[in-house]
């Protein structure tokens, strides 16, 4: 994986990097330790992914929160 942090033009970029016997390909974005890193250092993709995951979790747990048979202390764990 090759990621460039400089704002250079796309015309100067090559597709691969070779070091000894290893070849690395260029990628537009990559996920590392839960954070999406993009080639142009744009955090918008990461923020959209986090919001999408939070919405999924909220709607999955919504039935649990509305259930009257479960105590508040158990819901807050």
- 61-66's contacts with Cβ under 8 Å and 24+ in sequence apart are none
Residues 7-41 have pLDDT tens digits of 555 555 667 778 888 888 888 888 888 888 887 88
Pairing of strands 35-38, 29-32: antiparallel
pLDDT of residue 2: 54
Quote the pLDDT of residue 54: 95
pTM of the model: 0.56
Of 55, 10, 50, 52, the residue nearest 31 (C-alpha): 50
């Amino acid at each position: 994986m090759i990621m460039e942090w400089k704002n250079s033009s796309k015309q100067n970029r090559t597709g691969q990097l070779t070091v000894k016997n290893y070849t690395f390909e260029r990628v537009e974005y990559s996920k590392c330790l839960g954070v999406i890193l993009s080639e142009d250092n744009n955090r918008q993709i990461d923020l959209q992914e986090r919001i999408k995951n939070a919405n999924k979790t909220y709607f999955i747990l919504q039935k649990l929160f509305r259930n009257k048979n479960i105590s508040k202390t158990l819901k807050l764990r």
